[in-house]
């Protein structure tokens, strides 16, 4: 087939507001340039890949496949790489659980990932941590593209159609089916070409320096701390109003999580979120009453029912002082819907700030959350600096983690918004 890099360089990237070429369908990308590489799952093969990628040049495309919805946690079950001079490689982290050596030889290279924040945690677990990166999804957002999925970006900028259909499969399956490997290899086939096209477009729009600040922030960010009270994210939790019912959700969630972790399966395969919520709402008196609820049907054995009922009984027996609070305690401002009652002046500031940031984002053709995160805007408006001058706003934004380009684009607007009087003033 035609070399994709040559084809991409001969075809100018489309501007974000342009649609597909009239009458020109995308070219299906059917095969990797050198074919599908074998899966490497032993130390000998890994050493060969390390040597090949150490000798390669330029950026390295990196992708990882997880088994979300099938296995417990978010570990990587396949790592795909591509680099000029090294070709493509597929590495099995089950057979090679420590990729520190590979990460070390690539440490000084730029890593190209799509939606980097999704893959970096599982890559970090196996010893692969980039110092520099280029995120093609984030670059697409900053450049103003409406669709920033990998397939849409490759089609829009490079004119190729990627194979679809295997993104949500169980990547913990062994051996991995050949069609899945084909799909995985194609995921990194054009990633560097896409990076080059996006860099050119960002440069044209005067946004490349902004993107580099964003990429640096992602690469230097520490691992996210464990989520507090993760049981509160149970789907359907909005139906649970009473604290006793919330305690049932918490106990069932905790019991389910222990089983899921022990079995290495997704918690939803042990007990569905909807079943957890149904039990919380019903507060069943015994296992027989529990078995009548959706999600606890006749297929569930008595031992399982007794286990879940024990969790329900534990929650029902808790003293009032041990019940969870209605809302999670946070160190940030309250939900914006309550601001008008709690602090009308803050509500007025927030409305003005949101409008100003949204308008500026539209002028720059990028999502508002990429110009400045909603959380940053809320925190600034809830607790503004004592002296509401632009230098103080700049300092406050910097303390909240805003990048310099974001501060340059929003500080003046936010300073004006913070001067908005309350409705009664």
Residue 69, domain CATH? 3.30.420.10
Indicate whether 206 belongs to any domain. yes
Reference 365, options 409, 401, 303, 423; nearest CA is 409
Q: What is the pTM of this model?
A: 0.91
Give the torsion through C-alpha atoms of 223, 213, 332, 338, to 10 deg.
-130
- Are residues 297 and 364 both part of a single domain? no
Are the beta carbons of 239 and 299 closer than 8 angstroms?
no
Span 28-44, mean pLDDT? 95
Q: Could you read off the pLDDT of 88-119 as tens digits, one per residue? A: 999 999 999 999 999 999 999 999 999 999 99
CA 301: distance to chain centroid?
Answer: 37
Span 155-165, mean pLDDT? 90
Confidence tier at 9 by pLDDT (50, 70, 90): very low
Indicate whether 410 belongs to any domain. yes
Confidence tier at 10 by pLDDT (50, 70, 90): very low
| CATH number of the domain residue 245 falls in | 1.10.150.80
Distance CA 167, CA 65 (A): 8
- Are residues 179 and 253 both part of a single domain? no
| 3-state SS assignment for residue 22 | coil
User: Which domain-ending residue is among 220, 250, 283?
Assistant: 220
Distance CA 58, CA 84 (A): 6
Indicate whether 400 belongs to any domain. yes
Q: Indicate if the alpha-carbon torsion angle 39, 41, 42, 46 is positive or negative.
A: positive
**Is 83 a residue whose pLDDT tops 90?**
yes
* DSSP bridge partners of 62: 81
Residues spanned by the domain of 385 = 336-419
Are the beta carbons of 99 and 91 closer than 8 angstroms?
yes
Span 190-194, mean pLDDT? 98
Question: Which has the minimum average pLDDT: 163-167, 264-268, 343-347, 361-365?
Answer: 163-167
**Is 386 a residue whose pLDDT tops 50?**
yes
User: Which domain-ending residue is among 164, 190, 220?
Assistant: 220
Burial track 247-278 (b if 16+ CB lie within 10 A, e otherwise): bbbbbbbebbbebbeeeebbbbebbbbbbbbb
| pLDDT value of residue 163 | 78
| pLDDT value of residue 15 | 52
| pLDDT value of residue 298 | 72
- Are residues 168 and 239 both part of a single domain? no
| pLDDT value of residue 16 | 61
Q: How far apart, in Å, are the Cα atoms of 199 and each of 173, 208, 234, 261, 417?
A: 36, 7, 40, 42, 33
| pLDDT value of residue 299 | 80
Indicate whether 327 belongs to any domain. no
- Are residues 63 and 196 both part of a single domain? yes
Distance CA 157, CA 141 (A): 14
Q: What is the largest CA-CA distance in the chain?
A: 74
- Are residues 252 and 397 both part of a single domain? no
Number of domains the chain contains: 3
- Are residues 41 and 110 both part of a single domain? yes
| 3-state SS assignment for residue 216 | helix
- Are residues 239 and 107 both part of a single domain? no
**Residues with Cβ < 8 Å from 20, sequence gap 6 or more?**
26, 155, 156
Confidence tier at 23 by pLDDT (50, 70, 90): low
Q: Indicate if the alpha-carbon torsion angle 255, 257, 262, 267 is positive or negative.
A: positive
- Are residues 77 and 213 both part of a single domain? yes
- Are residues 81 and 180 both part of a single domain? yes
| pLDDT value of residue 3 | 43
Span 248-264, mean pLDDT? 98
Reference 344, options 379, 382, 378; nearest CA is 382
CA atoms within 13 A on the CB side of 253: 19
- Are residues 103 and 193 both part of a single domain? yes
Q: What is the DSSP letter of 425?
A: -
**Is 14 a residue whose pLDDT tops 80?**
no
Q: How far apart, in Å, are the Cα atoms of 54 and each of 47, 50, 86, 104, 188?
A: 10, 6, 8, 9, 18
| pLDDT value of residue 425 | 52
**Residues with Cβ < 8 Å from 396, sequence gap 6 or more?**
380, 384, 385
Indicate whether 196 belongs to any domain. yes
| pLDDT value of residue 247 | 98
| pLDDT value of residue 13 | 46
Reference 75, options 83, 87, 67; nearest CA is 67
**Is 165 a residue whose pLDDT tops 80?**
no
| pLDDT value of residue 424 | 65
Question: Which has the minimum average pLDDT: 25-39, 73-87, 201-215?
Answer: 25-39
Indicate whether 425 belongs to any domain. no
Question: Which has the minimum average pLDDT: 169-173, 257-261, 352-356, 419-423?
Answer: 419-423
- Are residues 148 and 293 both part of a single domain? no
| 3-state SS assignment for residue 66 | strand
- Are residues 117 and 35 both part of a single domain? yes
Indicate whether 301 belongs to any domain. yes
Indicate whether 331 belongs to any domain. no
User: Which domain-ending residue is among 257, 288, 317?
Assistant: 317
């Amino acid at each position: 087939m035609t070399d994709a890099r040559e084809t991409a360089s001969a075809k100018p990237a489309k501007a974000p507001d342009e649609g597909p070429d009239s009458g020109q369908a995308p070219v299906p990308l059917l095969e990797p340039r050198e074919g599908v590489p074998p899966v490497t799952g032993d130390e000998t093969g890994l050493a060969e890949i390390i040597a090949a990628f150490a000798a390669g040049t330029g950026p390295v495309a990196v992708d990882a496949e997880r088994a979300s919805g099938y296995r417990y946690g978010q570990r990587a079950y396949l790592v795909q790489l591509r680099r000029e001079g090294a070709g493509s490689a597929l590495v099995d982290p089950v057979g090679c659980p420590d990729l520190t050596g590979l990460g070390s030889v690539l440490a000084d290279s730029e890593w190209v990932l799509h939606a980097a924040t999704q893959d970096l945690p599982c890559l970090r677990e196996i010893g692969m941590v980039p110092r520099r990166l280029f995120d093609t999804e984030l670059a697409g957002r900053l450049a103003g593209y409406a669709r920033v999925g990998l397939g849409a970006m490759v089609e829009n900028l490079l004119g190729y159609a990627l194979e679809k259909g295997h993104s949500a499969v169980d990547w913990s399956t062994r051996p991995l089916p050949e069609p899945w490997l084909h799909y995985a290899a194609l995921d990194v086939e054009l990633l560097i070409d896409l990076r080059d096209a996006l860099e050119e477009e960002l440069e044209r729009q005067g946004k490349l320096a902004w993107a580099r600040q964003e990429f640096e922030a992602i690469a230097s960010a520490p691992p996210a701390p464990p989520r507090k009270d993760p049981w509160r994210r149970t789907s359907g939790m909005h139906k649970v109003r009473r604290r006793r019912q919330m305690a049932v959700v918490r106990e069932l969630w905790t019991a389910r999580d222990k089983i899921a972790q022990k079995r290495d399966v997704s918690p939803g395969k042990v007990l569905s979120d909807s079943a957890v919520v149904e039990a919380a709402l019903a507060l069943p008196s015994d296992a027989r009453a529990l078995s009548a609820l959706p999600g606890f049907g006749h297929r569930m054995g008595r031992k399982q029912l007794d286990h879940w009922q024990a969790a329900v009984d534990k929650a029902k027996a808790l003293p009032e002082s041990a019940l969870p609070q209605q809302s999670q305690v946070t160190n940030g401002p309250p939900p914006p819907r309550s601001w008008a009652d709690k602090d009308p002046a803050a509500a007025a500031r927030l409305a003005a700030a949101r409008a100003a940031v949204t308008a500026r984002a539209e002028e720059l053709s990028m999502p508002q959350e990429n110009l400045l995160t909603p959380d940053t805007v809320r925190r600034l408006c809830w607790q503004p600096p004592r002296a509401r001058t632009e230098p103080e706003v700049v300092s406050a934004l910097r303390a909240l983690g805003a990048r310099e380009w974001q501060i340059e684009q929003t500080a003046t607007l936010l300073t004006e918004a913070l001067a908005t009087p309350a409705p009664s003033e």
